[in-house]
Amino acid sequence: MAGNETNESTAESREVQYDPTSSRYNLYECPDCDNIVLALGRDEPPMSCHDKPMERVTDLEMSVQPPDVKQVLLQAFGLPKAGLDICLCVIGEGPLSANEVAESLGYDRSTITRYLNKLVELGLLERSELNREEGGVVNVYHSVDLERMRRETLIGFYVWAGEAAALIEDANLTKQDYLEENPDRDLPEIFWDSFPED
Amino acid sequence: MSVTRRSVLEQLATASDATRQETTTIEALAATLDADEYTVESHIERLEACELARITPDGTARVTITGEELLELNTTEMVIVDAATSNSKI
The interface pTM score, or ipTM, of the predicted complex is: 0.84
Write down the domain spans for chain B. Answer: 5-72
The dihedral through the CA atoms of A4, A5, A9, A12 has a sign that is: positive
Segment among A101-105, A122-126, A178-182 with least mean pLDDT: A178-182
Average confidence score pLDDT of chain A: 81
Give percent of chain A with pLDDT exceeding 70.
Answer: 79
Give the pLDDT of residue B89.
37
| A185 or A169, which is more confident | A169
**Strand pairing class (A125-131; A96-97):** unpaired
- Chain B residues within 8 Å of chain A (Cβ atoms): 4-6, 9, 18, 46-47, 49-52, 54, 64-66, 69-70, 73, 75, 77-89
Give the pLDDT of residue B33.
95
Give the pLDDT of residue A60.
83
- Given CB atoms, is A132 within the 8 Å cutoff of chain B? yes
Give the mean model confidence (pLDDT) for residues A59-81: 86
- Given CB atoms, is A88 within the 8 Å cutoff of chain B? no
Cα maximum dimension of chain B:
43
Residue A198 has pLDDT above 50, yes or no: yes
Residues of B in contact with A130 (CB under 8 A): 65-66, 69-70
Segment among A97-106, A187-196, B21-30 with least mean pLDDT: A187-196
| A72 or A21, which is more confident | A72
| A39 or A198, which is more confident | A39
CA A39 – CA A41 distance, rounded (Å): 7
- Of B9, B65, B83, which has the smallest distance from its Cβ to A97's Cβ? B83
Spans of chain B, pLDDT less than 70: 1, 76-78, 84-90
Q: How far is A134 from chain B (nearest CA, A)?
A: 7
At the top level of CATH, the class of B5-72 is mainly alpha
Q: At how many degrees (to 10) do helices B26-33 and B37-49 cross?
A: 110
Closest listed residue to residue A112, CA positions, set A96, A101, A125, A124: A101
Give the pLDDT of residue B90.
31
